[in-house]
Amino acid sequence: MQSKRIGFITCKPEKLADYFPTAAEPDLRPTEPPFTPDDQIAVDELRRRGHAVTPVIWGGDIGTLKESFDLLVVRSPWDYMDTIALRKAFFSWIGTLDKSGIQVFNPPAVMTWLTDKRYLLDLEEAGVPVVPTAHVAPGSAIQLADCFQGPLVIKPAISAAGEGLVLLQTEPEAEAFQTEFTRLNATQGYLLQPLIDEIRSEGEWSLIYFGGAYSHALLKKPAAGTILCHAERGGSLLFQNAPAQVRAVADQLIERLPGAFHRCKAERYRSSPFPLLYLRVDVIPTERGPLISECEGVEPELFFRARPGCEKVFADMLCARSSGE
- Cα–chain center distance at 158: 11
Produce one character per residue of 18-29: b if its CB has 16 or more CB atoms within 10 Å, e if not: ebbebebeeeee
**Rounded CA separation 62/236 (Å):** 39
CATH architecture of 5-106+308-322: 3-Layer(aba) Sandwich (3.40)
CATH topology of domain 134-194: Dna Ligase; domain 1 (3.30.1490)
Fold of 119-129+198-296: D-amino Acid Aminotransferase; Chain A, domain 1 (3.30.470)
Cα distances (angstroms) measured from residue 13 to each of 19, 109, 248: 11, 26, 37
pLDDT at res. 265? 66
Domain boundaries, the chain: 5-106+308-322, 119-129+198-296, 134-194
| pTM for the whole structure | 0.95
End-to-end CA distance of the chain: 11
pLDDT digit of tens for each residue in the chain (325 aa)?
689 999 999 999 999 999 999 999 999 999 999 999 999 999 999 999 999 999 999 999 999 999 999 999 999 999 998 888 998 999 999 999 989 999 999 999 999 999 999 999 999 999 999 999 999 999 998 999 999 999 999 999 988 777 789 999 999 999 999 999 999 999 999 999 999 999 999 999 999 999 999 999 999 999 998 998 989 888 999 999 999 999 999 999 999 999 999 887 655 555 678 999 999 999 999 999 999 999 999 999 999 999 999 999 999 999 998 876 6
Other beta carbons within 10 angstroms of residue 134's beta carbon come to 12
Helix, strand, or coil here: 67? helix
Write down the pLDDT at residue 28.
Answer: 96
